[in-house]
Each structure stands twice: as structure tokens, then as C-alpha cells.
Amino acid sequence: MEENESDIVFGGSTWKVPDNPSVPFVYGDGIGHDVTSNAMRVIDAAIDKAYGGDRSIKWIEMQAGEKAEKETGSRLPDSTIDYVKKHGLLFKGPLETPVGGGFRSLNVTLRLALDLYANIRPIKYVNGITSPLRNPDNIDLVIFRENTDDIYIGIEWKYDSKEAGEVRDFLKSKMGVKIDQDAGIGIKPIGKAKTERIARMAIQYAIKNKRRSVTIMHKGNIMKYTEGAFREWSYDVAISEFRDSIVTEKEVAENYGGKVPEGKVLINDRIADNMFQQLIGKPDIYDVILAPNLNGDYVSDAAGALIGDIGILGGANIGDSGGMFEAVHGTAPKYADKNIANPMGMIRAGMLMLEYFGWNEPVALIDKALEKSIAQKKVTQDIARLMGCEAIGTKEFSDAVISNL
């Protein structure tokens, strides 16, 4: 690709970003336009406040979702995929995904098209938000979810389809495995190379950011050659590539009297069901969580609920040559265009994007402004309901954050 002055040059965790980068964006479906447009206002204001006009983002709208289908006949036009591939970046509002039928998830399609193999979701308690826990203050997790493997590949067949019948016949005749005739069939691939690269990224992050531990979440006691292999391959990467910086839980018990040596990142693992109950009972003992796609999806939302509301979380989808940044909530169509929805998830997605830009000054400004707005009880209805105060609208909340920068 021929570079121009607004292009970002990607290099793993280090990006070369010009002062005025072009950022493709999609408003999204449902509440997408409300939350995305207001998040962009906050991001722009923070950048201007931090850099006095020396840096700015050139936003470029892309078509995707319901709006794109009406205008082009496709929910994800080839032109959007091609443009995003070329620029390696997307700031994306929520897009609708049907349950039980219909079109394939556009989110998954975009992740696979850009090979954004790491879904990264920081989860940290925000002062003033009501949590179901007595002491949520110590929740400070970062979840690394493998993003391009597992059942999300979408290899499955309806129970009464020709393909399902052929798979059942093959398994019975060639493998001696009998599957009920009324069973739908899905395939769960977990690959070694894909596991190794997400494990590598999670461990590199932990070392770089001086985190305490990386916990591999899996159901390897049952799915031995998929999730069990994910566990083994992750340990192999830790030991073979980061030997001087990590220590395993077994080594701590056998060689260090149960105490993690100074300066070492602890590598351990937990079976998924145990992970969930420990995360609820003892969330403060966990730091970085590394998980296959499905487990990562589950645990991200569960952990988000512990701080009071997943609607306030943003997520990053990162690969070796680009990234996509989005809120973790859905489209909530009943609230569309009503100036009700909370834009905080999209704002935090923008903060993650700015962190990858290396623009940490506006990130710090937004973080403080969000906390101040919540302390002032200037919040949208989802948070107001928890705090027992009067709600303000999407635009008014964004105005409050901007005024608090």
C-alpha cells in the first residue's frame, strides 16, 4: 500500500501515527448513531484540549449495518471491507447480529477480514458506579480473548440439513461415533499458531505493563484437544519465549515457598467453571486473563457486570497490522435516536484507540472527566437508575464530560 501523510503504519503493539490520522468509522445500528457521534465529540474535544490544535482526527464514515443495506443492498459492502483493510483501522458502533438465523455476524466478519486476533477488554471499577460486590474497588482486569478461532468461525449445520446428515453418516461409518438424528452439528477448531500468537500478546502486555499474573482460562478437563491444547500451548509460549520474565504457579509452590519472585509475572490456569466462581468471590486476585474465543466472550461480560454495567466498557480488536475499536454493548434498537443511550462504552473504545496511537494525554483527560461527571451525578438513565438520581440524555452527558475535561 502506498503511504500518505494521514496513514498509520502498524507494527504489532507499536504504531507510527501522524498528527492528523484518517480514522474510518461506522455509526452502527440501533443506538449506534447516538453513542458513536457523541463519543467522537468527546474524543475530538479531548485531543484539542491536550494538544491545542496540533493534533486531530480526520473521521471518514464507512457504510455497514442496516443503513448500508438500505443504500447498497448489503449490510457489509465490499467497498467498506476493502477500505478498512487498506487503512487497517475502524472505530465501530454496535452492529446488529440475529439470533438463530439470518446473516452472519458482521463483527466476526470484520475481525476475520482484518485478522484481528486479539479482543482486549480492560475492566476497572469506576468510582460512583453501583456494583453488586461489597468491595469492587480492587477490580482491575484485562481480558485477552482469542478472536479468530473456536466456534465463532461459524462451521455448523442445522439438524435436518443435508450437510448435517452427511457429517453424521461420516462420523458413524469412519469414526464409530453416533450422533442423534435430531442434533445440529458445529465444529470447534482451536489451532496451535492462533493460540500461540494470542498467548504471546497477552504475556508481552503483562510484562510491559508490570501486571502481576496471566491466568489461562479453559475447559481442558473436558475438551482435551481443543481447550486443553490451548492451555498447553499457552504454557509452552510462556516458558520457551519469556523464561526470564515469568514463573509458573507450580514453580512458585515447589521452588519459591509459595511467593512469586520479585519482578516475575505469574503464569497459572483455571478451569472455566472454577474461574467464574473465583472471579465473583475473589476478583482482586486476578489480573490478565487469557482465554479462547467462547470462554473469553462469557468471562468478559461476567467481569463487566461486577463493576456495575457492561455498557460502560470499551474493547479493542488488535492484530499485527491494525485494529478495530468498539463498545461491548449491543444495538438496543428500542432506544435508537431517543437521546437516552449511554455513550461511555464508545468513549472508552476511543480511549483505547488513542492509547494505541500513543496519545496518552487526552486519555488521561477523558478518564478524569468521566469520573468527575459521575461524581456530579450527571449520568444517563442506565447509571441514574443504579445511583438513584435524575438522568440526563446522551448529548447532555457528553456535554458534561467535555466541560469537565
Question: What cell was used for 114?
Answer: 482484518
**104 annotated to a ligand binding site:** no
Answer yes or no: is 368 a known binding residue. no
In 181-259, the DSSP E strands lie at 185-186, 213-218, 246-248
Which one is catalytic: 152, 205, 235, 356? 152
121 marked among binding-site residues:
yes
Question: Which residues does residue 289 pair with via DSSP β-bridges, in sequence order?
Answer: 143, 215
**Residue 273 designated active-site:** yes
Residue 335 known to bind ligand: yes
What b/e readout covers 58-85, taking b as 16+ CB neighbours within 10 angstroms? eeeebbbbbbbbeeeeebbbeebbeebb
Annotated catalytic residue: which of 82, 160, 169, 273?
273
Instruction: Determine if residue 330 is labeled as part of a ligand binding site.
Output: yes
Place of cell 453424521: 168
286 is catalytic: no
The region, left, alpha or beta by phi > 0 then psi within -120 to 50, assigned to residue 263 is left
Residue reference for cell 482486549: 120
Please check if 212 is assigned to a binding site: no
Q: 115 catalytic, yes or no?
A: no
Catalytic residue, candidates 92, 194, 219, 264: 219
**111 carries a ligand binding annotation:** yes
Q: 309 among the known binding-site residues?
A: no
On whether the CB atoms of residues 72 and 63 are closer than 8 A, the answer is yes
Residue 268 is labelled as binding a ligand: no
* Per-residue cell: 81: 471491507
Mark whether 67 is an active-site residue: no
The whole-angstrom separation of Cα 62 and Cα 80 is: 6
Catalytic residue among 34, 149, 150, 297: 297
Q: Using alpha carbons, list the distances in angstroms from residue 5 to 16, 22, 152, 227, 333.
A: 11, 9, 36, 44, 38
The verdict on whether residue 85 carries a ligand-binding annotation is no
297: annotated binding-site residue? yes
Report the binding-site residues for NADP(+).
329-335, 342, 385
Report the binding-site residues for D-threo-isocitrate.
105, 107, 111, 121, 145
Report the binding-site residues.
105, 107, 111, 121, 145, 297, 329-335, 342, 385
Annotated catalytic residues are 152, 219, 273, 297
Report the binding-site residues for Mg(2+).
297
